[in-house]
Amino acid sequence: MMTTPHEQLKELFADRKPMDVAIEISGFTGFRTSKIDDLSTEEAINLLAIHKPLPKDVEARNNALLEEILCKEWRSKILAVAEQEGIKESGDFQKFNNWMLQYSVYKKHLNSYNLSELKTLLAQMQTLKYNNAKSAEKPMNEAWWRKGQKLKNLN
């Protein structure tokens, strides 16, 4: 049994006060009408879309939010490695942004990376960390001095 958009709206607004429903419909139609039955089919469908978005829209929004959360996690991992390696100073992004534009894999700011690019960037940062640790074993280079400063600060 198919219900019309008008019937679906009546079910949706059944628990609301009639005055509130009339005000909402009046505002939605540009003060043309205040009754659900006077709405055109297109208006009823549009009003339903506002109050009950299609599952695809909800799923797409959910996926976008999930990807944004994952991107934030990957960015924080990248920033942690960058601070450990001296590329980024805490509270200052100038040096880090310049490094990103000059040396990062895709040569763009951190916020403009998507999830797959962030994974590649983290791999680059981990490789940089490994190479700096390996290089710190050789005396009198920058990585060796940085390692010495860290050890000196521990005392």
Q: pTM of the prediction?
A: 0.60
State the burial class of residue 24 (Cβ atoms within 10 Å of its Cβ: 0-12, 13-18, 19+).
middle
101-129 pLDDT, tens digit each: 999 999 999 999 999 999 999 999 999 99
Give me the residue spans of the domains in the chain: 5-52, 56-153
Average pLDDT rounded to a whole number, residues 132-142: 83
User: What is the four-CA torsion angle of 145, 151, 152, 155, rounded to 10 degrees?
Assistant: 180
Distance CA 114, CA 116 (A): 6
